[in-house]
Structure 1
Amino acid sequence: MTDLAPLYARHLATLRERADQALARGGFDHLLVAAGQPGTKFLDDNHYPYAVNPPFKHWVPLVDAPGSWIAYTPGAKPKLVFLQPRDYWHVVPEAPSGYWVEHFDIVTVRTAEEAIAQLPKHNAAVIAEACPPMEGVEANNPKAVLDYLHYYRAYKSPYELALMREASRTGARAHRAAERAFRAGESELGIHQAYLAAAGQTDAELPYSSIVGLNEHGAVLHYMALGRTRPAQSRSLLIDAGASASGYASDITRTHAATGHDDFQALIDAMDAVQQAQVASVKAGTDYAALHVQAHHQLARVLAEHGLVRMSPESAVESGVTRAFFPHGLGHSIGLQVHDVGGFARNDRGDTVPRPDGHPFLRMTRTLEPGMVVTIEPGLYFIDMLLEEVRQAPAGKDVDWAKVETLKPYGGIRIEDDVVCTDGAPENLTRDAFAALG
């Protein structure tokens, strides 16, 4: 197990340096970061599951600290105002402990009002969800401060990478359990339950809602219906599911073909080769948007080699045919959030890099640099709505629609890894985690 204490100390030093620069940029004296509160359901007294605010867990590995705050003033030791209410209705958060607590002045309070009383209020940058002013503290989320902090959040510290490796190991273990459930003929819900049990996490603790699609459901990009009954025949499974480690995410997608469905398995293998070629290109200086466009050309060759289209890769891309089969982006930045902030940032002053024309759903346009972690997730889907548009277009004559019809019952393919850009070869967090399982 990695010793997190020295890694965390260096991580915190980096955060303090960034905060100093961000506050100076915005002209503020203090930084206040809220842990957030669980939202209340409309016309109800029940709450949504609590999710800690990402900027808060950037500073401390606390994911169950509603109502707490980080207060930082340059030159002073950071302060954690930890809300531990007197409450017999709910489980009260445990007092902070572990490798990181020595780096904070920790003040434990019992009410939100007491927490606010502990915060510096003059000329503070307050990073928090919108809320009514509380005794002089109002969320202002100053753009100059956030632009700076969000830009540099893309560069993960060794401490963050250690936690992301842990999240990947948990996710890989759970994916193996999900595949076993699929091959045993379980329903989508049954597969999801096997995943949760192997991860040891609840739905609310996962970094995002799992996508578990059997057969044609794999064509729904964000399918979350979780069918309760076992299908008469399980032909394929597309599962997009991650895990968490102290607030950091993994994001893993795998597609499986049932035994004997050789044509679809061959297509999965071809897409896996495309995906691995993309992973190998995660290097310093690579334009991520260009990598996305390159993936379309690689997909076009797969479509032709497997008899789905009769056109050159250039024609398939230029005519929009590949976009019908692969309508989403190649991937995104990942870390404290599955779709982490700063994916379009050109610099730390808020300028952005636009998406390439014709690719409106790409979530990352930055040039890759060491320390960045991105997902690589090319896809190939059989989506009726998009395919019908191609059928009506001139390029439709160059699509083998009979072949498309034979593959539509499988839904689609997505293969996704989390990849670290380094000074040399990329580190594939996902493949390393699966390899460690044997």
Structure 2
Amino acid sequence: MTDPNTASLYARHIEVLQARARIALERGGFEHLVVPSGNPHYQVFDDRDYPYAVNPQFKAWVPLTRNPGSWLVVTPGRRPKLIYLQPRDYWHVVPEAPVGWWVEHFDVAVVRTAEEAIPHLPPAARCAILGEPQGVRAEYAPNNPAAVVAYLEYHRAFKTPYEIAMMREASRIGAHAHRAAEAAFRHGLSEFDIHLAYCAAARQDANDLPYGNIVALNEHGAVLHYTQLDREAPAASRSFLIDAGASYAGYACDITRTYSARDDDFQAMVDAVDAAQQRMCAQVRSGVDYRRIHLDAHLALAGILRDHGVLKVSAEAAVESGVSSTFFPHGVGHGIGLQVHDVAGFAAADAGTATLAKPDGHPYLRLTRTIAPGMVVTIEPGIYFIDMLLDDLRAGPNAASVDWARVAAFRPYGGIRIEDDVVCTESEPLNLTREAFARP
């Protein structure tokens, strides 16, 4: 990213993180915040490691995602220290020495072994150590104090301008790759080949992406987390649902689009969901209870099903009876940032002692907080024709609410999901996804 403002945005970002760390340490009664970057995990009974995933608490501070064995030390009133592992190793690529616009904000100590890092760490008894224990010396095993973690995770919902800039770049990459995936679908490629086209356009492989791509043709769109990726193309590709993101400097985007192969009834329903989704995105404003957006989404989607002949009852009746949940069984979205499903989605406050309940009958909603400026959320309504849920509905007391012939007509298309990443601001919402797709 070449934006000249990045360095100044990052400087302010570090100031915000230092202020949060100071309060979090006071809450927990500690003097130092110590964050290991994490280490590879090895598969059981094997010498192969799982793909390395950096500790989110580490990459919140530094744009480093491929540096296992490193440490961050934050002490209020001092410059943070980065203990950077640059091992002597001829089996693997050795990380280059840290360089760039962000380095000046840290005291950097380069070490060659894990043991060399220990003298650079403060006494463990006075440290809040955030991470997981694999590969860490026993005395520095993470203690993850609840008060410290709760405070930091709660406030991570409020993104700094630097973080928004990183997510904007991730969205740009994701939108570009989505266009390539749609083109591959239009050319009749298989799910696996569409996935490869996406990765090639994003210039990210499966381990770089923030989550496993969902690339679903036809009925597979009814599987909410479909990752099977058939190697052979179907005889006829009727529909295409892709839920795929991209990463940039440790931050994620999360984008879903759905297409029909023809200008037919299914495409008309896709267009209706897309229009409703944009109205939901417009609700991402300060003071709005996210649960309200979720419940409004049920009403809007039930109205679409009614308009397209699937439901025989009113939208209000479908929501009241729970019929709408057969067709929209997941939550309308979640927080996003350093993690695709960002943390503290149910926290009532930064003490971590109380949570905000999900609406009755809606167990899969991942965010129940009131939206405030700086929060970034996904909005991802969907309509699906899932055999298991449809069978339950047909066998129950509300079977007459549905025109089953219309269900049979839409079932071969699987389902619809449209998802954008939206920033709450002091005024109009900022839709990072639509902004990215609007670029040439």
Which residue of 1 is the match for residue 261 of structure 2? 258
Q: TM-score, normalised by structure 2?
A: 0.98
CA distance in 1 between counterparts of 2:105 and 2:256 reads 37
Q: Which runs of 5+ in 2 are unaligned?
A: none
CA distance in 1 between counterparts of 2:329 and 2:252 reads 24
CA distance in 1 between counterparts of 2:320 and 2:48 reads 51
Q: 1:108 aligns with which of 107, 110, 122?
A: 110
1:63 to 2:65 alignment? yes
Task: Report percent identity of matched pairs.
Answer: 61
1:36-185 equivalence runs, <5 A: 36-121=38-123, 122-131=125-134, 134=137, 136-185=139-188
Deviations 1:348-386 (A, max 9, x none): 001210111111100000000000000000000000000
CA distance in 2 between counterparts of 1:349 and 1:45 reads 41
Structure 2 counterpart SS, 1:336? coil
CA distance in 2 between counterparts of 1:381 and 1:238 reads 11
1:243 to 2:232 alignment? no
Q: 1:327 aligns with which of 320, 326, 329?
A: 329
Q: 1:346 aligns with which of 345, 348, 352?
A: 348
Structure 2 counterpart SS, 1:204? coil
Q: TM-score, normalised by structure 1?
A: 0.98
CA distance in 2 between counterparts of 1:164 and 1:16 reads 21
Which residue of 2 is the match for residue 202 of structure 1? 205
Structure 2 counterpart SS, 1:329? coil
Deviations 1:259-296 (A, max 9, x none): 24x11000001101110110010000100011101100
Deviations 1:366-416 (A, max 9, x none): 000000000000000000000111111121112000100011000000000
CA distance in 2 between counterparts of 1:184 and 1:131 reads 46
Shift of 1:135: 5.7
1:374 to 2:377 alignment? yes
CA distance in 1 between counterparts of 2:325 and 2:220 reads 19
CA distance in 1 between counterparts of 2:138 and 2:229 reads 45
CA distance in 1 between counterparts of 2:322 and 2:328 reads 10
Contact 2:132-2:141 within 8 A present in 1 as well: no
> Which AA in structure 2 matches 1:349?
A
CA distance in 2 between counterparts of 1:160 and 1:10 reads 11
Contact 2:39-2:135 within 8 A present in 1 as well: no
Contact 2:375-2:423 within 8 A present in 1 as well: yes
CA distance in 2 between counterparts of 1:386 and 1:341 reads 29
Shift of 1:128: 1.2
Structure 1 counterpart SS, 2:82? strand
Shift of 1:2: 2.2
Size of the alignment, in residue pairs?
Answer: 436
Q: 1:233 aligns with which of 223, 226, 236?
A: 236
> Which AA in structure 1 matches 2:407?
V
Q: 1:300 aligns with which of 299, 302, 308?
A: 302
Which residue of 1 is the match for residue 270 of structure 2? 268
CA distance in 2 between counterparts of 1:318 and 1:389 reads 17
Contact 1:2-1:162 within 8 A present in 2 as well: no
1:16-27 equivalence runs, <5 A: 16-27=18-29
Q: 1:193 aligns with which of 193, 196, 214?
A: 196
> Which AA in structure 2 matches 1:97?
V
Q: Give me the CA root mean square deviation.
A: 0.9
Which residue of 1 is the match for residue 281 of structure 2? 279
1:394 to 2:382 alignment? no
Contact 2:41-2:134 within 8 A present in 1 as well: no
CA distance in 2 between counterparts of 1:87 and 1:328 reads 46
Deviations 1:156-213 (A, max 9, x none): 0000000000000000000000000000000000100000010001110000000000
Misfit runs of 4+, over 3 Å: none
CA distance in 2 between counterparts of 1:135 and 1:284 reads 45
> Which AA in structure 1 matches 2:64?
L
CA distance in 1 between counterparts of 2:331 and 2:312 reads 24
